[in-house]
Amino acid sequence: MARAVVSLPATVKRGEIVEIKTLVQHAMETGFRRTQLGIAIPRDIIRLFVCTYNGEEIFRAEFHPAIAANPLLTFTTVATESGSIAFTWTGDKGFSLTESARITVE
Amino acid sequence: MSARRGGRPLPALAAACVVLGFTQAAPAAEIPSAERRSGYEFMSRETRAMQDDDATNPAVLWLLDGEALWNRKDGAAGRACADCHGNARASMKGAAARHPAWDAAAGRPVNLEQRINACRAGRQQAAPLAYESRDLLALTAYVARQSRGMPVDIAIDKRTKPFLDAGRDTFMRRQGQLNLACTQCHDELWGRKLAGSTIPQAHPTGYPLYRLEWQGLGSLQRRLRNCLTGMRAEPYPFGAPEFVDLELYLMWRARGMKMESPAVRP
**Alpha-helical runs (H) found in B146-214:** 161-172, 182-183
pLDDT digits (tens, 9 = 90+) for B63-89: 999 999 999 999 999 999 999 999 999
Residues in chain B, total: 266
Interface of A with B in 79-98 (CB under 8 A): none
Q: Which of helix, strand or coil describes residue A11?
A: strand
* B227 included as an active-site residue: yes
Provide the CA B50 distance to its chain's centre, in angstroms.
Answer: 19
Express each pLDDT in B152-165 by its tens digit.
999 899 999 999 99
For A29-51, the pLDDT digits (tens) are 999 999 999 999 999 999 999 99
Average model confidence (pLDDT) across chain B: 92
Architecture of domain B60-145 in this structure: Orthogonal Bundle (1.10)
Q: What is the DSSP letter of A88?
A: E
Q: How far apart are CA B243 and CA B227, in angstroms?
A: 12
Task: Note whether B46 contacts A: Cβ–Cβ < 8 A.
Answer: no
Whether residue B185 is predicted with pLDDT greater than 90 in this model: the reply is: yes
CB contact (8 A) between residue A23 and residue B61: yes
* Residue B35 pLDDT level (bands cut at 50, 70, 90): very high
Hey, are the CB atoms on B212 and A68 less than 8 Å from each other? yes
Cα distances from B159 to residues B38, B112, B246, B247, B252, in angstroms, run: 28, 18, 16, 16, 15
Strand partners, A62: A48
DSSP secondary structure letters along B14-31:
HHHHHHHT----SPPPPP
pLDDT of residue B4: 41
SS3 A51: strand
CA dist B80 and B91 (Å) reads 14
ipTM for the whole complex: 0.90
pLDDT tops 50 at residue B1? no
Fold of A3-105: Immunoglobulin-like (2.60.40)
Chain A residue with CA closest to B2: the answer is A68
The CATH fold of domain B34-53+153-265: Cytochrome Bc1 Complex; Chain D, domain 2 (1.10.760)
> What pTM was estimated for this model as a whole?
0.92
Residues of chain B contacting A71 with CB distance shorter than 8 Å: 1
Q: Which of B110, B114, B142, B118 is CA-nearest to residue B217?
A: B142
Domain boundaries, chain B: 34-53+153-265, 60-145
- Interval B86-106 mean pLDDT: 97
Mean pLDDT, rounded, for B223-252:
97
The reply to whether B34-53+153-265 and B60-145 are identical in fold is yes
pLDDT at B29: 79
Q: How much is the average pLDDT of A78-84?
A: 97
Cβ(B158)–Cβ(B265) under 8 Å? Answer: no
Chain B (54-113) residues lying within 8 Å, Cβ to Cβ, of chain A: 54-56, 58, 60-61, 64-65
Residue type for A95, please?
Answer: F
Give alpha helix (H) positions in chain A: none
Concatenating the DSSP letter of every residue in B39-64 gives GGGGS-HHHHHHHH-TTT-TTHHHHH
Dihedral through CA A61, CA A64, CA A69, CA A74, nearest 10?
A: -20
The pLDDT value recorded for residue B22 is 54
Q: Is the pLDDT of residue B20 over 90?
A: no
Contact B211, B218 (CB under 8 A): yes
Q: Residue B47, CB half-sphere, CA atoms under 13 Å: how many? A: 16
Q: pLDDT-derived band of residue B6, with 50, 70 and 90 as boundaries?
A: very low
Q: How confident is the model at residue B30 (pLDDT cuts 50, 70, 90)?
A: confident
